[in-house]
Structure 1
Amino acid sequence: MTGPVRGTPGWLRETNDRTALSLLLEHGVLTRNRIGELSGLSKPTAAQMVSRLETAGLIHVVGEVSGGRGPNAASYAVRTDRMLGVAIDIDAEVIRSTVVDAAGEERPIAVTPLAGRSPEVDVRLAIDAACEAAGVDPERVGAVCIGVQGALDPRTDELTYIETLPGWPKQGIRRRLGDALGRAVRIDNDVNLAALAERTDGAGRDAGGFALLWMGEGLGLSVDQGGSVHRGASGGAGEIGYLPIPRSAAELDADARDLQDLIGGPAVARLADAHGLSPQFDGTPDAREAFLHELARRVAVGVVPVLALLDPELVVLGGATGQAGGPRLAALVTAELRPAWGDRSVVATGVAAHPVLRGAREHLIGDVRDALFAEVSRIAP
């Protein structure tokens, strides 16, 4: 659909309407007069904008504000139920999903078993569960963003490293899901989505760029370059778990052959158990400290190639291990690196919970807002 020509009355109306919608998304509930003040437009123009957006069903009256001696002023908000998305995080056992609206309102997180029968069944169940938890109509959902423990090649629509997705095909997955669900589908690596959450709400918020070392059941690396995640030519950048460990690290674990063997989830669980700790590293203070010292030596082995190849401003330790180890583990890793690498900045994740889901939400907030703004273009003059 071709929009109005720049500089024409139609273009000006659309620009003003987009401005009003942006202000309502940014500030929440506003009156017509306040919209006029924030936009710098006259009261009559602001009133016309509000009238057009309300008639189109994009905003609605949500209350009144006292106008002093005059009549109360109606207050308006965006109809966030008009366009919805669902963020989905799939791990080896369950699917977590949550509804996303243009305002970014927090919604309940639904958890469903990973059926493994087909991607269509898995994703449809996740959408329905999220909508039921949020009390919204699934028909309002126009887009989904799915975080998977794998990589999607954007050139061929091929999934790789998907051992945790039984029943999912390698070829044509995004197109297949889009056709079956009748919705826009985005699929991304879980660690890349976690890095987006780290950039938006976590330790990477003020960094020019950073590397997220994800230590969960498996390992992953995501590199943020000034707000843009490096995915590589085939979408498989960051599969650091396959990296062989150097000979100098053999004393840490004689049987380890690669980083997954050294700091992957099973290896960390065995090390914690050997120190008498729970899988969440709970135990006596002395036992926890001894464990973290030993773990830090191992994690430093994984950080060194990141420093050598990428030289990031910041290294963030994420995943279950980074979360449980917290700032103390980050400080010990920094100390391990200092003799050879100086005072490198290694920090714990700043995202308290569900980083993959939060990253998928960030993607969808943008998508849902774009859909709302596209509706503005369709408002009749």
Structure 2
Amino acid sequence: MPASPRTARAINDRLALRFLQEEGPLTAGQLKERTGLSRPTVADLVERLTASGLVAVVGEAGAQRRGPNAKLYGIVADRAHLAALDVRTEGVRLVVADLLGTVLAEASAPVAEGEETGAAVERAVALLERTAKEVGAGPLHTVGVGAPGLIDPATGELRDSSGLPEWHRRLIAALQERLPARVLVENETNLAALAEQRDGATRDRDTFVLLWLGLGIGAAVVLDGRLRRGASGGTGEVGFLPVPGTGGVPSAVNCDGGFHSLAGSAAILELAAGHGLVGPGEPVARAAEVVRAAVASGADRFLDVLADRVVLGAAAVVAVLDPGCVVLAGEVGRAGGDVLAERVAARLAVMSPLATEVRAGELGGGAVLRGALLMAREAAQEVVFAP
């Protein structure tokens, strides 16, 4: 059954908006070439989108020909404003952006261990409100939040976890109460995978596993272009994965004894101290710096042992999922770069019969914030670009 005229117009409008988003301002002639639509159809949709306030003339093409230059049409980026937050145990980072995802402002605030929950929540929400106001963003349309922990696949809410600060859950509720915006929450590692697929190491892959190596340990699973969350939202909780060499096994409420105990930041610093690379008592946030320095100085023995540990988690997910590609992401994964990735790949080839490429993540710790912004942008555009 052919589409109705209204449906056809909506499809054509979405197609034109997608090209304007991906390529920037275009002339009517360029839209005709990209979309394959007729000249009258393109003229009609340009007029319709301009009248709706979604598209405006932003300049001229400057073609070297007689007569007036062709008008350039672009999406009205300030039609809606977005925000993205990366919520960590030690604080929060955020950006405010326009409808196209162009970052207008960035801000961050630390949260001290033991800080009163209400004060931490209030400071984070106030920081977002102030940052948006400073760039004239007005009421935010959509806010994307990346947080550690399980996201309930049915409700989209951050589930209670004894391992996370109370202010995390309270912050989500406060954002929903204080802001007129739609607030979306996703696991931080899942958002990192989204960012690496769009802008980073897996732009050419639709099936891969991202192994997050940072303060904590996690994984994100993308199969056939779809992010897999699992029945309870717990796909990728590899910190709890039982592995040899930890002297114990994890429990339902504590990942000590699991893969986290081998490859988390605290374990990496302990390993580095054993190789004389750092002194005792270094803050775990320095793990990425230590790995980066080890790569630069050629600390092969340390890097070999680290690869021996990381491959245990990589081999487990490869044996179950056969993704063909594993990305070592997060601050530590990026710090190790190709040097660590190549070591892990060599060990994985010995341990597994499944051919698997190992890549270093390109976005590091910034992947979570980037993924949260991508999530917010897509959700906002679904609403704003709706017929």
**TM-score range, shorter-chain basis?**
0.7 to 0.9
Whole-angstrom distance in 2 between the partners of 1:344 and 1:74: 49
Q: Please give the secondary structure, in 2, of the residue aligned with 1:155.
A: coil
Residue pair 2:109, 2:124 contacting (<8 A) in 1 also: no
Matched, 1:317 2:314: no
Q: Which amino acid aligns with 2:129?
A: D
Flag the 1:30–1:339 CA change in 2: closer, same or farther, 3 A: closer
Q: Which amino acid aligns with 1:354?
A: G
Aligned to 1:268: 268
The alignment's C-alpha RMSD in Å is 3.0
Flag the 1:47–1:306 CA change in 2: closer, same or farther, 3 A: closer
Aligned to 2:316: 305
The normalised TM-score by structure 2 is 0.82
Residue pair 1:88, 1:357 contacting (<8 A) in 2 also: yes
Matched, 1:211 2:223: no
Flag the 1:162–1:104 CA change in 2: closer, same or farther, 3 A: farther
Residue pair 1:152, 1:160 contacting (<8 A) in 2 also: no
Q: Which runs of 5+ in 2 are unaligned?
A: 249-255, 279-285
The aligned runs of 1:61-140 (5 Å cut-off) are 61-66=57-62, 68-114=65-111, 116-117=117-118, 121=122, 124-131=125-132, 135-139=135-139
Whole-angstrom distance in 2 between the partners of 1:161 and 1:76: 48
Whole-angstrom distance in 2 between the partners of 1:11 and 1:212: 38
Q: Which amino acid aligns with 2:79?
A: R
Flag the 1:169–1:289 CA change in 2: closer, same or farther, 3 A: same
Residue pair 2:184, 2:376 contacting (<8 A) in 1 also: no
Counting matched residue pairs gives 361
Residue pair 1:210, 1:314 contacting (<8 A) in 2 also: yes
The aligned runs of 1:215-294 (5 Å cut-off) are 215-246=213-244, 257-277=257-277, 279=286, 280-281=289-290, 282=293, 288-294=299-305
Flag the 1:78–1:158 CA change in 2: closer, same or farther, 3 A: closer
The farther-off stretch of 113-122 and 231-240 is 113-122
Flag the 1:32–1:346 CA change in 2: closer, same or farther, 3 A: closer
The farther-off stretch of 22-31 and 10-19 is 10-19
Flag the 1:218–1:154 CA change in 2: closer, same or farther, 3 A: same
Q: Please give the secondary structure, in 2, of the residue aligned with 1:329.
A: helix
Flag the 1:60–1:214 CA change in 2: closer, same or farther, 3 A: same
Deviations 1:103-140 (A, max 9, x none): 3334443212347427863653353355357x23231x
Aligned to 2:142: 143
Whole-angstrom distance in 2 between the partners of 1:226 and 1:295: 30
Residue pair 1:88, 1:147 contacting (<8 A) in 2 also: yes
Q: Please give the secondary structure, in 2, of the residue aligned with 1:63.
A: strand
Residue pair 1:275, 1:287 contacting (<8 A) in 2 also: no
Q: Please give the secondary structure, in 2, of the residue aligned with 1:316.
A: strand
Aligned to 2:375: 363
Residue pair 2:150, 2:234 contacting (<8 A) in 1 also: yes
